[in-house]
Each structure stands twice: as C-alpha cells, then as structure tokens.
Structure 1
Amino acid sequence: MQFRDTLRARILQGELAVGSKLPTEAEFGEQFGISRIVVREALADLVRSGLIYKIRGQGAFVAARERDEDFVSTVLGFSDEMARKGRTVRTQVLQQELRAPTEHEVQMLTLGADAQVVALRRLRSVDGELQLLVTTAVPADLAPGLHRTRLENRSLYDVLRRQYGMRIVKAERWIDAVLPDAASRELLGVAADEPLLRIESIAYGANGRPLEYYEALHRCQASRLHVKTTT
C-alpha cells in the first residue's frame, strides 16, 4: 500500500508525465526494497483505478488523466463507487443543519407542509483533486439526528444504510451543463469560463418513497461520466 500510494502521488502530482514508461517490476523492487509480487499487486491496483495501463511485452505506462465514473448509472454512492475503483475520496462538510425544505426540495421529495430536512453541503475531492460540490436534502423523519452525525470523510450512503437501515433501490438523475456562480467557482477552484456538469438526483427506497435529493456540480476536465443502458 505504501508503494502504491507513493507511486499514485507521483503520478497525480505530475512527477511522472502522461505516456511515460514506468520502471520494470524488478527495477521498482530494487529501488524500494520490495518483492516483485508486491510491485505487481500495486501496479494492478493502479491499472484498475485508471492511473496506468500495460502493453504486453512493452511494460507499464502513465495513463491520460481522463477517467470514467459510473456513479450516475448505479445506486452506489459516489464514495462507494470510487472506493471500488481504488481511488481516494476526501469530503469536507461545509453545511450540516436541520431546516425547513425549499419549495424545490418539497417537490422533489414529495414532502408534507410541516416536514423538515437534513441539509448538507459537501466539497469532495478524488485522489487529491477537487471534483464535486454537492448539496443534499434527506427527509428528517427518516434520519433523526443525522444533522449531528459526523460526516467528514464518510460515505453518506453508508451512514444511511448502517445507522438508519435506509436501502436505496433506484434513482432518477438529470444532467446538464452550467457555468457556476462565483462562490462555487471559488470552492472548486475553477476558472470563470470552465463549464461544469450539474447532476440532479432523487433516490428511492423499496416502498417508492424518495429518500434523498441532491444537486452536484461536477468538474469534468479529468473524467467522464459513464452510463450503461440495457433493453
């Protein structure tokens, strides 16, 4: 893990250029004082996460930074999907409170007149790069105390599953391109003319009730959203 994380950091920080050939397993083993088996396992992890690729008979190379992300086409949360690919997600909680829903949240979550929501605003990075600004609303009656639960660097979906027994079985999502406002640009560190993908999502439980609504601003310069469809 130490070798893998060291190599990942060197790639993400640009010390190893896109397209450059990596040392052989034997050379890495000698350089770091580890076995070829350990090197091979670490390189396999980096292949799965899309940071490097291998060509038979030629070796391993640093991949282009564009990566596919599948979370928009699954009921997995963003953290869960990134973890499955061996990528590191960090979450900064900017807002976490119990409040009355907005008119839009009432509509999307089909809430009653006196309902409250747990409102979250989180800034999320992947492998050290800022990538998502997410505003989330969860019906408060489904998750009592969620507004006091520590969510820094945690998966919200994992908390909802473990702590509240909430199981998401389907979701609707809408995607369009937007230019972010000044506050969002500053948080994500983007230029004024950099377009973002806006993702709106409603997640549902087995009984058909909406469990969560979110709106996410997604930086797409170094990744693509990947959607699978079936007949």
Structure 2
Amino acid sequence: MNSLADLAPQLDRGSDMPLWSQFRDSLRTVILSGELSVGDKLPTEAELGEQFGISRIVVREALADLVRSGLIYKIRGQGAFVAAREREEDFVSTVLGFSDEMERKGLTVRTQVLSQELRPATPAEAQVMSLTGDDPLIALKRLRSVDNELRLLVETCVPADLAPGLHRVKLENRSLYDVLRRQYGLRIVRAERWIDAVLPDEATAELLGLTAPEPLLRIESLAFNQNGRVLEYYKALHRCKSSRLHVKTTT
C-alpha cells in the first residue's frame, strides 16, 4: 500500500488543533474520498506513526475516535479495517451524535450556532432534567446541514455544572458530543427519544429554507451519563424529505 501520508492532507504542527484530531480528519478524508475501499486494512499503528511523523499515542487516539464514529473497525490481532457506511440515518436509535453518525456515512456536516448562552433552567426544563429550582444550564440553538442541505434545527440544554464554560467554547462546525467527551470526559450511555410529526412555523421554515409547506419530524431526547444523570436534553426539528430515520429494536 502506498503511504497514506502522500494521499492525505498534511498535518499543521503550528495549528491550535491537536495533532490527533488533524490526523483523524486526514484519515477520514482518505477513506471518504474512495482512496480506501470498504474492508481495506489500514497500516499498523507503527507504520502510520512513521508515515505521518507522529507518535503511536497520537495514532491510537485518532483510530479510537474513528472506531467510535463507525468509520473503521478493529479485529484483535489483525488490525484496523475500513467499515461499511449506511445510507439511512440511525442517530435516533444510537448514542452517537448527529455529526458522528453522518460522518460515518461519508456525509459532510456543517453547523451554524444561532445562540449559545448560560442561563437559569426554566421550570419545564428543570422538571424534565431533574434539576433543582433555577439551576444554570448551557442552552444552544444550532442549524445543521448535510452535504449543503439544511436538515436539522436543534435546541439543546446541558447542565452547567457538568460542562463549566461550555457556553464559551467555539462549536461552529463541531460535534457537541465530541467536545463533551474530549474536553469534559462526559459520555452518553443511553437515551430516551420521542418522535412525532409537526408543521413548522414561519420562522422555522425560513431557517430551514423551506419554500413550500413540508411536515417535519420533531425529536425530543433525554440522554444520560453512566451515573444515570441527564447529560443532555434536546428538541430537534428534522427535515426528512431526502432521507429517512432508521430505528433498531432488540428484545
């Protein structure tokens, strides 16, 4: 196999972006461009480190993140391989974030942050998130597109004590779940979601670029950490005209 470093975007050691995330994005670019096919084996950690001029620790962290997002998989004793990418949207039935799940399928996600603030929880938010009184939370409103198509309008709340300073973190074109995991050590282990169909109001239709009336799927979600505490509460309006949601169930 030719050196992946010859095919991938170069790493910028003067950038504020960590080397592991630059390396992860470089590998993702190579995979999604078709230079690597489904089932292809990646070079070993040592080989990747030599090709890109980085440590095995950096390589290992990047590969672990690609495994979490489903873009590659590992077989013990055999190495890492390129995974198949699905066409349907499975994020409603997994604890993957929207960005991770879309990127796993080779799609480009863009996120516009409409608002990001630290404020007291409303009585309704406090009740559903099991908060006390007017406990502070970080409230986000984001507009998300997939392959340049506006797809999702989502309002998210995260308890402020779990992610202090999150209201000051730059989240434009970033995965919230990745930030929570990397910067705060927070991990979602389960979620409960409710889905129904609604017609958008005029403001929502304008934000999503709807030129004609179109029903949207409304998704309400509570996500929990390993201690059973609500880590995230969101309400999303999802445009499904060019996609469909896929839900897996088990007994």
Q: TM-score, normalised by structure 2?
A: 0.66
- What is the SS of the residue equivalent to 1:141? coil
Which residue is 2:155 aligned to?
A: 135
Q: Which has the higher strand share?
A: 1
Structure of greater relative contact order (alpha carbons < 8 Å, 6+ residues apart): 1
User: Residue 204 and residue 128 in structure 1: after superposition, are their counterparts in 2 closer, same or farther (change >3 A)?
Assistant: same
Structure 1 residue 168, shift from structure 2 partner: 0.3
- 1:159 matched to 2:152: no
Which residue is 2:203 aligned to?
A: 183
- What is the SS of the residue equivalent to 1:228? coil
- Aligned equivalents of 2:122, 2:135: Cα separation in 1: 11
Bigger drift between 119-128 and 190-199 goes to 190-199
Which residue is 1:78 aligned to?
A: 98
- What is the SS of the residue equivalent to 1:224? coil
* Aligned pair partner of 1:91 in 90, 111, 114: 111
Which residue is 2:139 aligned to?
A: 119
CA RMSD, 1 decimal? 1.7
- Aligned equivalents of 2:107, 2:205: Cα separation in 1: 24
- What is the SS of the residue equivalent to 1:124? strand
- Aligned equivalents of 1:204, 1:194: Cα separation in 2: 32
Which residue is 1:41 aligned to?
A: 34
- Aligned equivalents of 1:222, 1:43: Cα separation in 2: 27
Q: Which runs of 5+ in 1 are unaligned?
A: 1-37, 46-66
Contact 2:121–2:134 under 8 Å retained in 1: no
Aligned positions, number = 172
Q: Which runs of 5+ in 2 are unaligned?
A: 1-30, 39-86
Structure 1 residue 104, shift from structure 2 partner: 2.2
Which residue is 2:58 aligned to?
A: none
For 1:1-231, list aligned pairs within 5 A.
41=34, 67-191=87-211, 193-231=213-251
Q: TM-score, normalised by structure 1?
A: 0.71
Contact 1:179–1:192 under 8 Å retained in 2: no
Contact 2:110–2:144 under 8 Å retained in 1: yes
- Aligned equivalents of 2:146, 2:175: Cα separation in 1: 13
User: Residue 42 and residue 196 in structure 1: after superposition, are their counterparts in 2 closer, same or farther (change >3 A)?
Assistant: farther
Q: Letter of the aligned partner of 1:204 in structure 2?
A: F
Q: Letter of the aligned partner of 2:133 in structure 1?
A: A
Q: Letter of the aligned partner of 2:117 in structure 1?
A: E
